[in-house]
Amino acid sequence: MDVIDPATDEVIESYEEHSPSNVDEMLGAATTAFETWSRRPLAERERLLASAGEVLRENAGEYAETMTREMGKPITQAEAEVEKCARVCDHYAEYASAYLEPEHHPSPPGTAVKTVHEPLGPVLAVMPWNFPFWQVFRFAAPYLTAGNVGLLKHASNVPGCALAIEEVFREAGYPEEVFQSLLIPSDRVEDVVADDRAAAATLTGSEAAGRAVAATAGENLKKTVLELGGSDPFVVFADADVEAAATTGAWARNQNGGQSCIAAKRFVVVADAYDEFLDRFVEGVESLAVGDPTDPETDVGPQARKDLLDEVHEQVRDSVEAGATLVTGGEPLDREGTYYPPTVLTDIPAGCPVDTEEVFGPVATVYRVADEAAAVEKANDTEFGLGASVWTTDRERGERLAGDIDAGCVYVNELVKSDPRVPFGGVGVSGYGRELSEAGIKEFVNRKTVWVADEPGDETVVE
């Protein structure tokens, strides 16, 4: 696996892939480790997770540099990502016991009935490159603490991140086989999912990758959680704080180089606010500093790979040819590295690429709509359903519209974000299942009913 620095186009590191026999050994080791790890007291697993958070903070600079070098994330954003990973460790170290507390149920006299939460086994996680630490820790923190063991198949352009994360857990005191990184290409994932020793799988990535993993898991009757793409609407009404909406929107679209499933992508603005919003939005977009991701002053770094830049530019070019208006940006920068400038398109023709496809780069589409009904209709005019943002000073209206928009999460007067305290996930082709919070830690457990009677019951009543 060759690692190419997207800021320079230079090969900076090479890693050996794990052979089929390596993977077989790792699956066997994971199975053995599960037998002892799942029996360790939950309090011990919580303490180890707290230690992982400490390791992350102690080595934050090193981990941030690895991210920046491998996929081009601006260094300040990489440092913030490491801190967010530490916070998810803090969260489950504090709340896992409460989340996994047995649930007691009404029962006949002389009986006690409860649901207990038991881990499933080795969980395969297929993770993307765009948030190479956070995506992993939001799966690993809850699932390992619940008693599962983890097998990470990370994106092939961030193997250094994969191994660094493995080292975090080892330095924190975890047994080596409780979390292992499989350095394998995507075409070998199916074999791991199908292996009897893999109990379940979770994937964050493209719709195509999600369908492939879900199909194989389904054939083998295994639980999956999928967090797939998004084309999140950012809806602005005339009574909104337009300046705040525009400033937040410029950042919501362009942080991480626009390479985020929950980035604001389709800006739906009612006519009475459209001109002011567009002017302020473009001003905000054009003020973002594009450049060397190791420079703390940089807001937008390179795209993670050359093929990803080419795909984004093709979507923009084809949409402009179809009739979209290019307001700013729209051409790869003439410099070393895979740089694409923050771009704004208006007058979007129905059915053009930026209207119907997920655009995974710093490209915003701005739509003018007549009123609230048209805004909701446009917000829902997509097969995706990950997140949405609504801007209005009328709180009652914001909560009402949150119910009208088809998405896994809706934020009013804030950008969409994932947070350890609340469930995260989508609907439609954006996936299924939930990560984070109590919902997340219970995705990969056996919710076992335990019914205990003091005396034999009445067996004549059968349902």
Report, as residue numbers or ranges, the catalytic residues.
227, 261
CA distances from residue 183 to 155, 171, 338, 415 in whole angstroms, order as listed? 9, 20, 25, 34
HSE-CB at 175 with a 13 A cutoff on CA atoms is 21
The Cα 54–Cα 59 span in angstroms is 9
| Residue count (the chain) | 463
Amino acid making up residue 310: D
Crossing angle for the helix pair 42-58 and 60-71, to the nearest 10 degrees? 70
Enumerate the β-bridge partners of residue 269.
236, 368
Burial 402-432, CB ≥16 within 10 A → b, else e:
eebbbbbbbbbbebbebebeebbbbebbbbb
DSSP string, 439-452: HHHTTTEEEEEEEE
With H, G, I as helix, E, B as strand and everything else as coil, classify residue 44. helix
Q: Which class for 254: exposed (0-12), middle (13-18), buried (19 or more C-beta within 10 A)?
A: buried
If DSSP states are collapsed to H, E and C, what string results for 1-31? CEEEECCCCEEEEECCCCCHHHHHHHHHHHH
